[in-house]
C-alpha cells in the first residue's frame, strides 16, 4: 500500500464518518452506529499513523514499505 492508497482509504473512511455524524444530528446514533463510528475513528488514526511512518522512513532514507499498521489500541493511546 503506497501513500496514494492510504490517502484514498482515508477519504473513504472520512466520507463514512461524515455520513454517520450527519445522521446523528438531532437524532443521536444507535448502538451499532456508535460502534461503527468508534471503529472509523480508530481506523483513521491507524491510517494517519501509517502515513506518518512511511513519510518519516522516506525522509530518512529507509524503505517506506517497511512501515506497518500498528494496533488500534497502540495508536489510540498516543497523546497530542
Does some domain include residue 31?
yes
Q: Where are the alpha helices (DSSP H) in the chain?
A: 3-24, 31-59, 72-76
Does some domain include residue 70?
no
| 9's grid cell | 482509504
Does some domain include residue 28?
yes
- Residue 34 is predicted with a pLDDT of 94
Does some domain include residue 25?
yes
**pTM of the predicted model, to two decimals?**
0.88
Mean per-residue pLDDT, 14-22: 95
> What is the spatial distance between Cα 11 and Cα 14, in angstroms, rounded to a whole number?
5
Does some domain include residue 41?
yes
- Are 80 and 45 in contact, with CB atoms under 8 Å apart? no
79 pLDDT above the threshold of 80: no
* Number of domains present in the structure of the chain: 1
Mean per-residue pLDDT, 16-35: 92
Does some domain include residue 66?
no
Per the structure, the complete domain to which residue 37 belongs is given by 3-59
Does some domain include residue 55?
yes
- Are 1 and 42 in contact, with CB atoms under 8 Å apart? no
Does some domain include residue 68?
no
> What is the spatial distance between Cα 56 and Cα 26, in angstroms, rounded to a whole number?
41
39 pLDDT above the threshold of 90: yes
Mean per-residue pLDDT, 12-28: 93
Amino acid at each position: 500500500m503506497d501513500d496514494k492508497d492510504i490517502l484514498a482509504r482515508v477519504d473513504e473512511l472520512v466520507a463514512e464518518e461524515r455520513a454517520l455524524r450527519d445522521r446523528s444530528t438531532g437524532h443521536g446514533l444507535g448502538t451499532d452506529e456508535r460502534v461503527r463510528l468508534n471503529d472509523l475513528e480508530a481506523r483513521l488514526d491507524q491510517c494517519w499513523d501509517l502515513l506518518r511512518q512511511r513519510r518519516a522512513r522516506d525522509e530518512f532514507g529507509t524503505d517506506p514499505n517497511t512501515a506497518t499498521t500498528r494496533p488500534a489500541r497502540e495508536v489510540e493511546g498516543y497523546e497530542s
